[in-house]
Structure 1
Amino acid sequence: MILSALVRKQRLILLVSLGLIVLTAIASMAWGYSSLSLDRLIPVLFGQGTFKEEFVLFSVRLPRIFITLLSGMALALSGSILQSITRNDLADPGLIGINSGAGVAIACFFLYFPIDAGSFVYVLPLVAFIGALVTAALIYVFSYSRTSGLDPIRMVLVGVGFSLALSGIMIVIISSAERSKVDFIAKWIAGNIWGTDWPFIWALLPWLILLIPFTLYKSQRLNLLALSEASAIGAGVQIERERLVLILTAVAAAASAVSVTGGIAFIGLMAPHIAKALVGPRNQLFIPVAVLLGGWLLLAADTVGRNLVDPDGIPAGIMVSLIGVPYFAYLLLRK
């Protein structure tokens, strides 16, 4: 049984994380190319602002805040699952090629399969899921051994190889595309938050509503899979089936996020690590904390990045990488 003191600590950390999200969201609503003073936020939220203020807040800032927050949560959820089932602290959907697989699928779909604009938003996460799923299946096949099962270290190495290969394929795909479409894909690769409208929120939100509770429901299985195969088998866990279901969950979470935010790495690496350092390795404790921290990290990165350089700012993916690359190097040296 989990100690009550640890549960209280987790709840306190969750409250602090929610507080950080609220404070960062307020800063994100107020700061930008068209500034909106803090004392005007409440009146504008209740419909007492000018046309310009309401347009900036409801059509530009709020959709971007929600998209960034939800995407960070999804990436953190995916990273938490991958680290537990592979027993590898370096596992991350951006590092092991899942994001790249989703990106190639999105690029092909965007370039060669024209579709009605109204349906594009809702089809995109599904296209990203298919691309990420095919990539994850290939990584799994190349990492699996009949004698020893899934090799966690080999999975990361194979995933990095696939990520590099898919990046090369992406360059080949866009080399003959129209300039306007190439610009979109280039922004996607850089991790630019491009899905900044309310329909993108409604396309992303159902995935999280389904995947977060399901992952928490499977948290005990994740605890056993994180120990060793022998321990999991001794506890009666059907390893391959559970691992397959959870990989599908991680792929769906990552694909739904990158379909609207672009190729953002390291959120799925950093958020679970920070959460484990705060509340320990039990999945039912650290996953909720990681999800909130992931949302806050991406929201903070986007808020800072878009205000550094006018008018477009620095893509959130680059801002996250500035922190994530040194953190990844630190983990690599430590492990």
Structure 2
Amino acid sequence: MIQPALIKKQRIILCVLLVLIMLTIVIGTGIGYSSLTYDRLIPTLLGQGTFKEEFVLFSIRLPRIFITLLAGMALALSGAILQGITRNDLADPGIIGINSGAGVAIAIYFLFFPIDVGSFVYLLPLVAFVGAILTACLIYLFSYTRNEGLQPVKLVLIGVGFSLALSGMMIVLISSAERTKVDFIAKWLAGNIWGTDWPFIWAILPWLVILIPFTLYKANRLNLLGLSEPVSIGVGVSIEKERIILLFTAVALAASAVSVTGGIAFIGLIAPHIAKALVGPRNQLFIPIAILIGGLLLLFADTVGRNLVDPDGIPAGIMVALIGAPYFIYLLLKK
């Protein structure tokens, strides 16, 4: 039974995070290369703005804000699931190579297959999912031994190796490609939010609508998987079945996010850790908080990054890495 005090604390934190997200959205809509004054924000939302104001708000700012928010949520939830099923606090879809696997699949599709403008947006998450799940399965197989089961430390090391190998493969793929396609993939690698139109939101939203409730439904299973394997088996958990189902869920979330935002790491590492520090390790409590923290972190990083340097700014992936890399080193030293 969860203590009422913890539930109350969780609700307060969720409310605070929602307020911070709303503030960041409001700030993000008003600043940028084409400014939109805050006193014109509500009239423009109500359809009383000029053509330029409505274009800036509805065609540039809001799609990018929503994409960034949804992608951050997906990456945070993916990281929380991976840390739960591997019992490893360093697991993250960017660090252990899942994002790189999705990136290679997208690069192959973008370079060698005919692109149909109408279906391109909706096919990208599926293509990324295929690349990510193949990578995840290989990492899992190399990390698993029959006698000892899944070895968490080995999984991270193998994942980092896969990530480096796939990054090298990406460079080989783009070395002989057309200049315009190379520019796109280079931006993807840097974590530049490129899916900044409403169709990209409809492409990622169904994944979150389905997989967030599913993960919360499986939260108690994640709690049991965090125990030692003999204990998990003793309470009746089918370990391998649950791990595979949840691994597919984590990969689908990460793939849907990086297909529209590019290669962004560390969100899935940082957000669950902050959430656990606030309300403890029980998945029912910290997962909703981690989801909102992930969305807030990526939204904040993109809002700051795109306004530091005119006109294109600094990619969100680089901004997140500036925060996440020191934290990753801290965790390595601590664990």
Does TM, scored on the shorter chain, surpass 0.5? yes
Cα-to-partner distance string for 1:129-172 (whole Å, 9 max, x where unaligned): 00000000000000000001100110000000000000000000
TM-superposed CA distance for 1:71, in Å, is 0.1
Cα-to-partner distance string for 1:32-69 (whole Å, 9 max, x where unaligned): 00011111110000000000000000000000000000
Counterpart in 2 of 1:81? 81
Q: Where do 5+ consecutive residues of structure 2 fail to align?
A: none
Counterpart in 2 of 1:156? 156
Query: 2:293 and 2:119 mapped to 1: Cα distance?
Result: 31
TM-superposed CA distance for 1:178, in Å, is 0.3
Question: CA RMSD, aligned part only?
Answer: 0.4
The question of 1:144 aligning with 2:156 is answered: no
Where do 1:193-272 residues align within 5 Å?
A: 193-272=193-272
Counterpart in 1 of 2:92? 92
TM-superposed CA distance for 1:199, in Å, is 0.2
- SS at 1:227 equivalent: coil
TM-superposed CA distance for 1:107, in Å, is 0.2
Query: 2:232 and 2:212 mapped to 1: Cα distance?
Result: 22
The question of 1:49 aligning with 2:72 is answered: no
Cα-to-partner distance string for 1:205-240 (whole Å, 9 max, x where unaligned): 000000000000000000010111111101100000
Q: Percent identity?
A: 78
* Counterpart AA for 1:31: I
Structure 1 residue runs of 4 or more that deviate by more than 6 Å after TM superposition:
none
Query: 2:94 and 2:116 mapped to 1: Cα distance?
Result: 29
TM-superposed CA distance for 1:115, in Å, is 2.4
Where do 1:37-186 residues align within 5 Å?
A: 37-186=37-186
Normalised to the residue count of structure 1, the TM-score between the two structures is 1.00
* Counterpart AA for 1:216: L
Query: 2:147 and 2:134 mapped to 1: Cα distance?
Result: 24
TM-superposed CA distance for 1:246, in Å, is 0.3
TM-superposed CA distance for 1:280, in Å, is 0.3
Counterpart in 2 of 1:30? 30
Query: 2:237 and 2:34 mapped to 1: Cα distance?
Result: 55
Query: 1:84 and 1:228 mapped to 2: Cα distance?
Result: 12
- SS at 1:193 equivalent: coil
Query: 2:69 and 2:235 mapped to 1: Cα distance?
Result: 37
Equivalenced residue count is 335
Query: 2:89 and 2:80 mapped to 1: Cα distance?
Result: 9
Query: 2:326 and 2:140 mapped to 1: Cα distance?
Result: 27
- SS at 1:236 equivalent: coil
* Counterpart AA for 1:170: M
Query: 1:316 and 1:213 mapped to 2: Cα distance?
Result: 27
Counterpart in 1 of 2:303? 303
* Counterpart AA for 1:119: S
Query: 2:186 and 2:267 mapped to 1: Cα distance?
Result: 20
* Counterpart AA for 1:230: P
Query: 1:292 and 1:227 mapped to 2: Cα distance?
Result: 26
Query: 1:155 and 1:284 mapped to 2: Cα distance?
Result: 25
* Counterpart AA for 2:252: A
Where do 1:278-289 residues align within 5 Å?
A: 278-289=278-289
Query: 2:173 and 2:248 mapped to 1: Cα distance?
Result: 26
Normalised to the residue count of structure 2, the TM-score between the two structures is 1.00
Query: 1:231 and 1:205 mapped to 2: Cα distance?
Result: 37
Query: 1:227 and 1:265 mapped to 2: Cα distance?
Result: 27
Query: 2:181 and 2:116 mapped to 1: Cα distance?
Result: 16
Cα-to-partner distance string for 1:83-107 (whole Å, 9 max, x where unaligned): 0111110000000000000000000
Q: Where do 5+ consecutive residues of structure 1 fail to align?
A: none
